[in-house]
Every structure is written in structure tokens, then in C-alpha cells.
Structure 1
Amino acid sequence: MTTTVKIPTTGWYVLGNARLHQSLTPDLDGPVDRDGFALVDIAVADGRIKGIAPRGDRPEPPRAIDLAGRIVLPRFVDCHTHLDKGHIWPRMPNPDGSFMGALDAAGSDRLVHWSAEDVARRMDFSLRTAYAHGTKAIRTHLDSIAPQEEISWPVFAEMREQWRGRIELQAASLIGIEGVREETWFAKLARRVAEARGVLGAVTYMVPDLDVLLDRVFRAAIDCGLDLDFHADETEDLAAVSLRRIAEAALRHRFEGKILVGHCCALSRQPDREVKVTLDRAAAAGLGVVSLPMCNLYLQDRRADGTTPRWRGVTLLHEMKVRGIPVAVASDNTRDPFYAYGDLDMLEVYRTATRVLHFDHPVADWPRAVAATPADMMGLDGVGTLTVGGPADLVIFRGRSWTELLSRPEADRIVVRDGRAIERKLPDYDELDDLMGGTNGYRGAEV
């Protein structure tokens, strides 16, 4: 029998018979099942969690809500996205699904369309989507090639203020590493990022002067007091070892800030001896790594001859985790030339990661990869876990086990912010039709 769940809008209440995961609940007490879940009662008052106790005698309704064993997770943390690119697919699709096709299409769209209004409206659309799905914090990369940085960073600052209290929003600069050669311009960009309380970022390639350019990035981060965020080795090229070079640069500079590195796809194709050296140095340098399974499944090993892809683009998260390297998964691109699909739904990301990266048998503490670990990578205290005294920011699902939770979209999940259920209304795509030239995603078709 289906249990109807209605969260009170005022006063205190108890979520009884809830299923919490031990990796996301530091205050959890009592026995857990083989997947790490425990049945508990969660007391909520004044927007905060007042208690988490093993399932027991509960107050009578209406203040007691029997969840009948449903899974409850903290709101998600999405540490690698591209909100400034989001939803441009209808007006600028990828012509062939390739990485170069994505670069060319996105660059062309940026030059023609990325005004402050265009970027702001698409970012707000994306944030409303992520919020409805249960995300609490997002880091977005911002294309910062001149003159776009003069447009997108002020838009980001305004958007962060508008969303304060609903989504914690961070931004990282995104430029190709060759842009760092322009010393004066790069120093100005680093100051802009610092003024915006952002993160300094770049895309690394195996250019001859990579170490020199990385040293320049690290010195700028140290001078400006910034954390770092890199795109690295998003390729099948065996010679792509910029993850290792980043780690070596961090060790050279004795860097004390946080460093997050995304993609690292090439690592999964390299010889074991090379992998060991890279991972040992990454661990010593204190790097964190985020894999983007949905986008890399889409782009990597796409073959011009129409044959089936032979490898799937994810990096070696299991091997990293064993070495103590913090690892996460995230959404990456959404409905743009780099990924034609997606909805900034971290449950979808985790479902895909579980199937592709084998986050199961055992489940262990892999749920941290979409909540507590990326929160730590982003420097967010008290986010990504459910703790006594912490905010009642959580998501209530219908699934009572991983196999139930990850088998359906869970479109009717309940998202709770500060103890109250939010209105989960996803924005309609037609809101952006005027930005897309009225195509609504059907270029040249009659609607």
C-alpha cells in the first residue's frame, strides 16, 4: 500500500521509520543492513534536525509521519557543472557528437549569443531545475576567455545573491592552459576571480611549456588566496599525463589550498606502472578528483566510422579511493554541445555512476561521492550529511533499498529545505524558446 507523506509547514514533527545511510549520517546509532542503511526516527523542529534515534515509539499523528522504510538522503552537492553553457543545444547542437565538434559549436554560440541576459536566464533555468531535484550546492565553471569574463562573472555574482539560502553557488574560471601565457591578462583574471570569491581554474593539455604554465597558475592562486580546479586529460591519448603534472606542481609549491581535478579519462587506458606513479603523487599532493560519467560516456571514444565505442571514459575512482584520494561524481554539461541530455539531477548521476563505475557490491561509502565528499572539496561545512543540530535539508524518496531507489527516476521525491517541503516545479523548456530562436529543440521542423 502506498504511503502518503505530507510534511507539516509549522511546528515540530518526526519522520518515523526512515532509512538513513551510515556514510552520510555521523550521528547514526544502531544496526545497519548490508547496504549500510539503518531504520531510524528523525525529529525536526525550527528547521533543524533535533534528534536521530533507532526506530522506536513515536508520537501520534499528525506530528509523526511514518515513512515505511523510505530512504532519506541529504540534499546533493554537484561540484562540476557548466551552467553558462546549459540548454544551448536547440540553437547550437554538436554536429557529430565529437569533442572537437563540441568545442567548435560552444565557441561559436558564445561569440554570437552570450549576452548577460542570455547567460542569466539559462543559469536561472538550470538552478531552478537542480533545486527541484534536491541539490543544495553547485560549482559551475565559467568560460572566461576575453571578453566573456566581463559578462559572465558579474552575472554569476548576481545569481549567487539571488539564490543565497537555497543553493550555495561557487564558480571557477575556465580557460585553456595556453591562455596563461598572456601574463598580464591572466593576472587580471586571477584578481577578478578573487574579487568574486571564486576558484581559479584551467583546462590542461600536454603543451611543451605545461610545467611553466602550471607554476604560473599555482603562484597566482597562492598570491590571491584561491583554491584550484582543473579539467585534465579528457582524452584517450596515452600520453596525456597532466594529472601527474598538476600533482607535481602542487608538491613543488607546497600548495595548501584545495585542488579539484575533473575527468582524468586517459588514466584508465595507461599502463599500471604509469597509473601507480600518477596516483601516488596525486595522493601525496592532496588532490581531489571528480569523474563526469554521463558527459564522458557521450563524448569519449565516439568513432567517425560509426563503430561501437570500446571504452567508456570514466577514470579510476576505486584505485584513487584506496589511496585516500577524495573522489566524487557530478553532472558536468547539460543539453549543450558537450552533452545533449541531462537535467542536473544528482540521483541520475549517481545511478549512472553505480552502473558504469560499479558503486555497489559493496555499496560501502560511495554515497558520499554526491554529497559529503564534494561538499568538503568545495569547503562547505555542515553540507552533504544529516547531523543532529544541522539544518533539516533532505530528500525523501520512495525507494527502500538501493535497487528500488536506482531503478526508477523517483520523479515524486520530496525535497525538504529548513524543515519544509519545497514546491518541486521543474521549469518548462518553452521558457527559453525566444533565446533559441523559437525552435524549442526542433531545428527546421514544423511545430
Structure 2
Amino acid sequence: MASDLDMSFVNVSLPLRASGCLYEVGIAGGKWSYVRKQETPPAEGTVVSLEELTPEQAADGIAVDLEGRLLLPGLVDSHMHLDKAFTIQSVGNRSGTLREAIENYSAAAPGFTREQIKDRMREAIRQAAAYGTTSIRSHLDFNCRESTDVAMRTVYAALELKEEMQDVMELQFFPMCPYDPGARGVAEAYEEALKLGLDGVGGAPHLSTDPEGSIAYLFRLADKLGLPIDLHADENDDPAIRTVEFIAEQTLRYGFQGRVATGHLCSLSAMDHPTAERVMRKMADAGLRAITLPGANLYLQGRGDRGLVRRGVTRVKELVEAGVPVAVASDNIQDPFHPFGRGDLLQIGLLSAYASHLASEQELLLLLRMMTEVPAAILGLKDYGVQPGQAADFVIFDARTVHDLLSWLPAGRWVGRKGKWISISREHRWSRESRERIAK
């Protein structure tokens, strides 16, 4: 469902702007037309309650009373794997380790058709949209083990979905460069895929037999094609694995400050503090962005530990203190890398609050920015935020304080994108038909 909004909201709480006051906002032509403090309450009988809003009223440009509910710009999930979503039933992981997840998915990938991949991705996008996400950056499996045709199958599925779902979701796709780009035909196929219209260079070079060589290749390619870089970095419990340092060096060498994101950074949490401080200073000096992925890392890391178990979540507070912007993202949804999740970024934000000890009023506001403003900057979104003239992408939560938002994870969420409703449902449940279809 999508209908023209062109409406106004009153009694709006904008936690990223200010607390302790209410706002009134208006939308015209798919953009915010005004955002101002509310001086007087609306006249009785001139507005409709959000809970009573119907699709017909939504299309009539009616004024809606939020009654103090929180309104945020659309959530931004800066690290997902849409193509792998909902494969846990067909691709298991008995050990629960990263290694087995990689091996099992790689072996299963040739058996997936383009339509199966698209179906899973479409369902994940719809789920995320219903929970309030309006922009996603997804990494793509680029499996050349059997043939480049298998890798390109995923690429074509992603490009088709990007066009199909443009009214629902802003999508970016970063293919994962194989660990050995020097293998026969791999580099040529990877560059060809990027030239088809993908958005940036991705990979997990810490898993390569030659991490520095792989990183250098990715920077050369990104520089050649004028594309940003987003890398899985140091997803390991071993404190000696520090490829992010070389990523920082290459970022400075190529002048890519502000254009390189690094996800996971698990080994950073295993390092002694002086070493970690040195690494984080290098990251800050290079203008790297960091993405914490608590769901998958809490599940995968520390599998070999006994007693005091390392949990893998990176040093969120210390990175922020060092001047490195940090976003929180979903990563995997119900696949061999992470068997849980539903595309709800707020749920993942709560995991980050637990794992990173975020609880004060200022820390919870930081967490909101980790789901909105910080990842929007990582994605390079130019038309973002609840400001006049910006695109009217938003999510309204059935909560009136940030603490309640994180405590209750309210089911009531009303979502708009570019001035059109994409969800006014108060509950988000999968149909049995959808579950059975994507599990095939």
C-alpha cells in the first residue's frame, strides 16, 4: 500500500532534535515542508488520532495527532546480507562457527535460483521496511568457486530488486570480493559486476591467505572505478589479527577518508587496551567508519573459549571516544551466520545497548544516532533527516520516551518513504505462506 501523504503531524516528539518540547511538521511533495516547535495545541476536532488513521484518511492529507509519540528519520541499516536471509533451514551450521557458516553457504549457493534469491531478499526488505528501515546497504555473496555464473546470478537478482523496490527502500549493494582475487577469471568477473551498477567494493580480506595484498587490490579497484569501500574487518577473536591498520594506511594513501567503512572489528575487543588505543587512533586519523554487528558476533564469536567467553562485540564506546563514527546494523537474518533476527534494527540496537553497556540518557541518544544519522553518513545519503526540504522518510513509534522505545520495542510503527506510506500496520507478522515460500 502506498498513498500520497501531504499531511501534517502535531504533538510530535523529535528526540534527535530536542527533548522536553513538542513539534508540528508538514509534508508536501514528498519532502518535509516545515518543522517547528509547537506553540499551542491543535484545535479540538481538527486532527485524527494516529491509532484511528485509515488508508483512506492517509490519502486525504489529514492532520494527524501523534500525542507525543517519537518520530525519527527512517532507520538506516548499513550492513546486511539480504541474499542469505532465511536460509537457516536449508543451510545449517551445526558447530555455530563462522568457518562452517562460510563453507556450508558456499556449498549451497550454486543450488539457489535467481528467483529464490530475489524472493528471500524481497521478504527481508519488506520486513525491514515494516519495522521502520527505509535505507539498506547489503553485501552480496560473490561465489566463484563453481563458476562466475553462480556469482552473477546473485548480482542480477540484486539489481532487479533494486529497481523493483525503489519506492519502498533505498538499496545499496556491495559484492564480497573472493578471498583470492588473483584466481583465474575472478578479478575480471568482479570488476564486470561492479560496472553493472553495484554501489561499492566489499570483501573480507582478513580471511585471505594474503590479507594485505587483497586490501591493496580492493583499494586500487575502488580508486579506478571511483567507488566507496565497505569491508568486513578482523571478524576473529585473535588479538594479533589487525588488518584494519593496513586498511587505515591504504585509506590515507588513496585519499579515501570518509569513504571507507569497516564492519565487525571483533579482534579489537580482544586486544590489550594500549594496543587497541593505538589501532583506534589510526582509524580516526584515516577517517574510517565502524559498524558494530552485535547479533551475529555475539552468536559466532568465542566458540572455543571456556570460562570467561569472549563475545566479539567491538569497542563501541572507545571508538566513539576516539572520534570514529559507529553505526549498529543487522548483518544476517535467519541464516547459518545468525539463525535469529527479523529485520528489526531497533531490536539489534537493543542488543548493542546490552553488549556495549549503553543505558544513560546520552548513551541512548547515541544509540538512536547509530541507527539513523551515522549510518546515513556511511551510505552517503544526501537527502536525509527531519529537516525542511529533505525527503520525508520517517518512522513513528508507539513510545513517548527513548527509554520506553528500547524497553518495549513497540509493535506500533508507522512508516513513510518520500511522502508515501509504506506501513500503517500496528503488527508485523509473517504469514505462514511467506515462511514456507522463503524456506524452500
Task: State the shift of 1:347 in Å.
Answer: 1.1
1:81/1:129 CA distance change after superposition, 3 Å: same
Who is 1:180 aligned against? Answer: 181
Is 1:433 paired with 2:404? no
Distance 1:38 1:347, change over 3 A: farther
Distance 2:177 2:307 in 1: 32
- Residue 132 of structure 2 corresponds to residue 134 of structure 1: yes
Deviates more, 1:282-291 or 1:202-211: 202-211
Hey, what does 2:51 align to over in structure 1?
Answer: none
Shift of 1:191: 3.4
Task: Give the counterpart of 2:24 among 41, 51, 54.
Answer: 41
CA offset digits 1:245-295 (Å, max 9, x no partner): 211122233335711111000101101221122111111211111010111
Structure 1 equivalent of residue 164 of structure 2 = 162
Q: Contact conserved, 2:71 with 2:397, CA < 8 A, in 1?
A: yes
Instruction: Find the aligned partners of 1:11 and 1:376 in 2 and give their Cα distance.
Output: 26
Counterparts in 2 of 1:229 and 1:55: CA distance versus 1, 3 Å = same
Q: Is the 8 A contact 1:58 1:64 kept in 2?
A: no
2:419 & 2:24 partners in 1: Cα distance? 15
CA RMSD across the alignment: 2.3
Alpha-carbon distance between aligned partners in 2 of 1:315 and 1:106, rounded to the nearest angstrom: 25
The answer to whether residue 11 in structure 2 is matched with residue 17 in structure 1 is yes
Give the Cα separation in 1 of the matches to 2:255 and 2:154: 32
Match of 2:153 among 151, 164, 178: 151
- Do the aligned residues in 2 keep the contact of 1:228 with 1:257 (CA within 8 Å)? no
Give 1:401's aligned amino acid: T
Secondary structure at the residue paired with 1:283?
Answer: helix
**Residue 426 of structure 1: CA displacement?**
4.8
Q: Name the counterpart of 2:266.
A: 265
Q: Could you tell me which runs of 5 or more consecutive residues in structure 2 were left unpaired when the two chains were aligned.
A: 48-61
1:52 and 2:40 correspond: no
In 2, distance between residues paired with 1:285 and 1:58?
48
In the TM superposition, what are the counterparts of 1:103-122 in structure 2 within 5 Å? 103-111=102-110, 113-122=111-120
Contact 2:86 2:438 in 1 (8 A): no
Counterpart contact for 2:232–2:264, Cα < 8 Å:
yes
Residues 198, 9 of structure 1: alpha-carbon distance in 2 compared, 3 angstrom cutoff: closer
Greater mean deviation of Cα atoms: 193-202 or 155-164: 193-202
**Mapped contact 1:16–1:66 kept (Cα < 8 A):** yes
Amino acid at match of 1:169: L
Q: Which whole-Å CA distance do the structure 2 matches of 1:429 and 1:340 have between them? A: 18
Task: Give the Å deviation of 1:69.
Answer: 1.5
Q: Secondary structure at the match of 2:192?
A: helix
Q: Closer, same or farther in 2 for the Cα pair 1:401/1:192, shift >3 Å?
A: same
- Count residues with an aligned counterpart: 414
AA partner of residue 48 (structure 1): K
CA distance in structure 2 between the partners assigned to 1:429 and 1:196 by the alignment: 35
SS of residue matched to 1:21: coil
On the 8 A contact 2:5/2:419 being kept in 1, the answer is: no
User: What are the within-5 Å matches in structure 2 for residues 376-387 of structure 1?
Assistant: 376-383=377-384, 385-387=385-387
SS in 2 for 1:395: strand
Which letter maps to 2:37?
P
2:416 aligns with 416
The share of aligned pairs that are identical, in percent, is 29
Q: What letter corresponds to residue 229 of structure 1 in structure 2?
A: D
Which runs of no fewer than 5 residues in structure 1 stay unpaired? 1-7, 26-31, 438-447
Distance 1:161 1:308, change over 3 A: farther
Q: Is the 8 A contact 1:49 1:390 kept in 2?
A: yes
Q: Secondary structure at the match of 1:355?
A: helix
Following the alignment from structure 1 to structure 2, what is the Cα–Cα distance between the partners of residues 238 and 212? 20
Secondary structure of 1:131's match? Answer: helix
TM-score normalised over the length of structure 1: 0.86
Moved more, 97-106 or 416-425: 416-425
Q: How far apart, CA to CA, are the structure 2 residues paired with 1:356 and 1:390?
A: 33
Taking a change above 3 Å as real, the CA distance of residues 12 and 262 of structure 1, as seen in their structure-2 partners, is closer
Alignment-derived partner of residue 444 in structure 1: none
Over 3 Å counting, the alpha-carbon distance change for 1:334 and 1:360 in structure 2 is same
Correspondence 1:235-246 to 2 at 5 A: 235-246=236-247
2:401 — aligned with what?
401
Change in 2 beyond 3 A, CA 1:244/1:48: same
Matched residues in 2 for 1:108 and 1:188: separation? 20
- How far apart in 2 are the matches of 1:435 and 1:51? 42
What is the Cα deviation at residue 129 of structure 1? 0.9
Match of 1:5 in 2: none
Post-superposition offset of 1:204? 2.0
CA deviation vs aligned residue, 1:88-121 (integer Å, no higher than 9, x gap): 111222112222222222222213x222111111
Q: Kindly tell me: are residues 389 and 21 of structure 1, through their superposed partners in 2, closer, same or farther at Cα, counting changes over 3 Å?
A: same
